[in-house]
Amino acid sequence: MRNASLWRSLLGVEKTVVEDIEFDEDDQLLVAHVRPRARVRGRCGRCGRRSPGYDRGEGRRRWRALDLGTVQVYLEADAPRVACRQHGPTVAAVPWARHGAGHTLVFDEQVAWLATQCSKSAVTELMRIAWRTVGAIITRVWTDVEALGDRFAGLRRIGIDEI
């Protein structure tokens, strides 16, 4: 397994180029400098349509990723804006995170799953995030689940036990 593909697997990212890895030994912090592959670049962060570039945005951004053992991990990348016909100037989509989120997709999924298994307070301790962040992540994940389709599609009959 090549070095780059090993890092992609460890970081849980797809359609991404890992450019560099920095490790801060004092803070036990790993920062992976990444960028989207050419095929997925230049898309609206809200609708996913290809859009022309607008500007360089606010510079580089960081997204919290799943920890590697006791080491906190962040993905860092440029956040250019695109000129979407429908949404106007908006931050370009990245394959590792939802639009407007400060965490990676796999981080959000882990938090959402943990929230179904234990208390919010336990999730905050395990994932090292704020209590309100857990609620925001659950809301984001639930919105995505709801968008997948109607949960009652194909339902033909229901049984009611008591009235």
Average predicted confidence (pLDDT) for the chain: 93
Burial (Cβ within 10 Å: 0-12, 13-18, ≥19) of residue 136 = middle
DSSP 38: G
Residues 113, 85 within the same domain: no
> How confident is the model over 6-15, as a mean pLDDT?
90
Residues 36, 82 within the same domain: yes
Q: Domain containing 61: what range?
A: 1-95
Q: What percent of the chain has pLDDT over 70?
A: 99
Question: What's the half-sphere exposure (Cβ side, CA atoms, 13 Å) at 81?
Answer: 13
> How confident is the model over 50-58, as a mean pLDDT?
92
CB of 42 within 8 A of CB of 71?
A: no
Token duo for residue 89? 């100037």
Confidence of residue 102 (pLDDT cuts 50, 70, 90): very high
Residues 87, 147 within the same domain: no
Domain count, the chain: 2
Position 161 in a domain: no
